[in-house]
A and B are shown apart, each in its own frame.
Chain A
């Protein structure tokens, strides 16, 4: 299943409604669903904040391939922009030195089993693979 959302924070409600319904239909467990929702939100909001071309749309597709959940986010842009390569927060630091930025990408890398990025013909594509419990 697939849908597109305007690249804006105001799209989040509609986006979560689509993801929630989609993951239910694919019989994804609540643990994996939470991880997928969080990873999609983090990457989507990075695209909104840093991905340029405001007013563009982000396509999201959800697919179950046996024991794997496959999520693909696509977006148009003039130059390659890989939100998964943004620096992650150092979560080992004490409170006074902890930074707010980079937490999202740390969570994505921790929760998702495989992340890949490609750019071709003005189109970014991020594929997330989450292994599902048998």
Chain B
């Protein structure tokens, strides 16, 4: 249902559905991030406030050292949720070409 992969180049890929029962799995990866990191949403189908909260917590922590998450390849439905949460102003989101 949900998995998170750290690629060789350090990019993190979210896969499946990140709901409130999966934040622990995602947190194990996000809590270890210390530098600016790309996060691919290409294969993420669903996210709720639990997943958004984890991203926000990580972004707040990284910002204290001038680092941050760079979110890429979001589908339209997920992108809309980021806009409603006004996460598009606190994260760098790379537009899908």
Contacts and interface: CB of A to CB of B under 8 A. Distances in A.
Interface of A: 9-10, 12-13, 16, 30-31, 34, 37-38, 41-42, 45, 91-92, 94-96, 98, 100-101, 103-104, 106-107, 110-111
Interface in B8-24: 17, 19-21
A106 B80 CA distance: 14
3 smallest beta-carbon distances between A and B, as pairs: A104-B49, A91-B86, A100-B53
A31 B81 CA distance: 11
Contact of B63 (A34, A37, A42, A95): A95
Given A95-B60, A95-B90, A98-B56, A107 B84 contact: yes
Contacts of A101: 53
Interface in B23-50: 46, 48-50
Contact of B86 (A30, A92, A104): A92
B4 to A, nearest CB: 17
A31 B77 contact: yes
Given A31-B77, A34-B77, 8 more contacts: A10-B21, A38-B48, A45-B48, A95-B59, A95-B60, A103-B85, A107-B49, A107-B85
